[in-house]
């Protein structure tokens, strides 16, 4: 039992070996003295000596012998150094590559989105990506959700975006943002004095609804049905942009996904939180028949990095 415990202790000690300790070993084999190794690694001589002592303690044997002021590597040290060389060279190349400015992407990129995201969110992001990647040939289509899903599933587009619910075996989705509904109403509406709007507050109020092809319309209808309330729908529109314009004209109130319009509501329209939360998820959509290209991944990353998440009401976990 004692032998097993000793073996476990040795394994634990060796598992703590650090990259810096291995770099010290390499530098000492090449330089021959602690002071020269310290110069190579841009650390102090005492740090070199300390790292070497730690490594020898972890391994359980001596790596260098002192002869006439020089550190002479043992056979074990030379063997370790030879095995480490390709590993440390690879790490050095990866670090160097990470420190370089990102190379511009070439190739082609086809993007598709429904009207609101296409017109109110993506153009500035696509323009910024094109400026950073002038050799990339980009095509941009605006389609209703049904046609968008078919095009992605058939591989006619590299990437799409939507806040509609999707379930299609030909499509892979990656979450960009989760939000919750806000109530939009004319600025002088009596409900604008409320801090939070609830379903019962909207009973008998003229309501501007999204058309039934939107999955969010079904979620709103279900919520009011469960509450035993009826929405007095006076007008239906196919886009959030249109809904907001009708609200601005004083025709009624509405419930909307704040993405991506929260910065673009404009004048004469008030926004208020709505509870209970109606949740929305905005996703990137990718054809499941092929892996996304490097340029597609780069575009997704740029869009994600550009997003001001703090601006959008998000559901509590």
Burial (Cβ within 10 Å: 0-12, 13-18, ≥19) of residue 198: middle
The confidence band for 95, taking pLDDT boundaries of 50, 70 and 90, is low
Per residue in 264-294, pLDDT tens?
A: 888 899 999 999 999 999 999 999 999 999 9
Q: Which candidate, 140, 144, 145, places its Cα nearest to that of 110?
A: 140
Q: Which helix (H) or strand (E) holds 115?
A: helix 115-120
DSSP letter for 146, please.
H
Domains of the chain, CATH where assigned? 2-99 (1.10.10.10), 107-176+281-311 (3.40.190.10), 182-276 (3.40.190.10)
Q: Is the pLDDT of residue 3 over 70?
A: no
Share of residues in the chain with pLDDT > 90 (%): 52
**What number of other Cβ atoms are within 10 A of residue 225's Cβ?**
11
Q: Which residues contact 201 (CB under 8 A, 6 or more apart)?
A: 191, 194
Q: Which of 38-42, 100-104, 195-199 bottoms out in mean pLDDT, i.e. has the lowest?
A: 100-104
Tens of pLDDT along 181-227? 999 999 999 999 999 999 999 999 999 999 988 888 999 999 999 99
First to last CA, the chain: 49
| Number of other residues whose CB lies within 10 A of the CB of residue 32 | 16
Q: What pLDDT does 11 receive?
A: 52
pLDDT at 15: 55
**Three-state DSSP state, 102:** coil
Greatest CA separation for the chain: 97
Confidence of residue 314 (pLDDT cuts 50, 70, 90): low
Q: What does the mean pLDDT of the chain come to?
A: 86
Per-residue pLDDT tens over the stretch 243-271 = 999 999 999 999 999 999 887 888 899 99
- Would you report the helix, strand and coil content of the chain in percent, each value rounded to 5? 45, 25, 30
Residue 303 has pLDDT above 50, yes or no: yes
How many C-beta neighbours within 10 Å does residue 278 have?
Answer: 19
CA pair distance 25, 19, nearest whole angstrom: 10
Per-residue pLDDT of 126-176, as tens digits, reads 999 999 999 999 999 999 888 899 999 999 999 999 988 777 889 999 999
Q: Which residue has the tokens 């110069």?
A: 39
pLDDT for res 24: 86
pTM of the predicted model as reported, rounded to 2 decimal places: 0.64
């Amino acid at each position: 039992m004692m032998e097993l415990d000793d073996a476990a202790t040795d394994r634990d000690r060796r598992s703590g070996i650090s990259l810096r300790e291995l770099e010290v070993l390499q530098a000492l084999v090449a330089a021959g003295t602690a002071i020269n190794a310290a110069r190579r690694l841009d650390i102090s001589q005492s740090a070199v000596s300390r790292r070497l002592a730690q490594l020898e303690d972890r391994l359980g044997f001596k790596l260098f012998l002192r002869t006439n002021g020089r550190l002479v590597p043992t056979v074990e040290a030379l063997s370790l150094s030879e095995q480490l060389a390709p590993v440390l060279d690879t790490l050095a190349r990866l670090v160097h590559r990470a420190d370089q400015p990102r190379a511009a992407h070439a190739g082609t990129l086809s993007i598709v989105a429904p009207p609101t995201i296409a017109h109110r969110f993506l153009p500035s992001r696509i323009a910024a990506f094109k400026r950073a990647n002038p050799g990339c040939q980009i095509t941009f289509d605006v389609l209703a959700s049904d046609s968008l899903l078919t095009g992605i599933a058939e591989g006619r587009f590299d990437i799409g975006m939507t806040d509609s619910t999707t379930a299609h075996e030909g499509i892979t989705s990656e979450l960009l943002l989760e939000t919750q509904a806000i109530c939009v109403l004319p600025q002088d509406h009596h409900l604008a004095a409320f801090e939070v709007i609830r379903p019962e507050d909207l009973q008998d109020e003229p309501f501007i609804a999204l058309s039934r092809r939107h999955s969010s319309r079904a979620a709103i209808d279900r919520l009011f049905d469960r509450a035993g309330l009826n929405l007095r729908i006076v007008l239906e529109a196919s886009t959030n942009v249109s809904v907001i314009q009708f609200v601005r004209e004083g025709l009624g109130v509405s419930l909307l996904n704040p993405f991506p319009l929260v910065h673009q509501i404009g004048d004469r329209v008030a926004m208020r939180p709505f509870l209970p939360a109606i949740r929305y998820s905005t996703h990137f959509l990718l054809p499941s028949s092929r892996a996304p290209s490097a340029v597609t991944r780069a575009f997704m990353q740029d869009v994600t990095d550009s997003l001001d998440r703090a601006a959008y009401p998000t559901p509590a976990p």
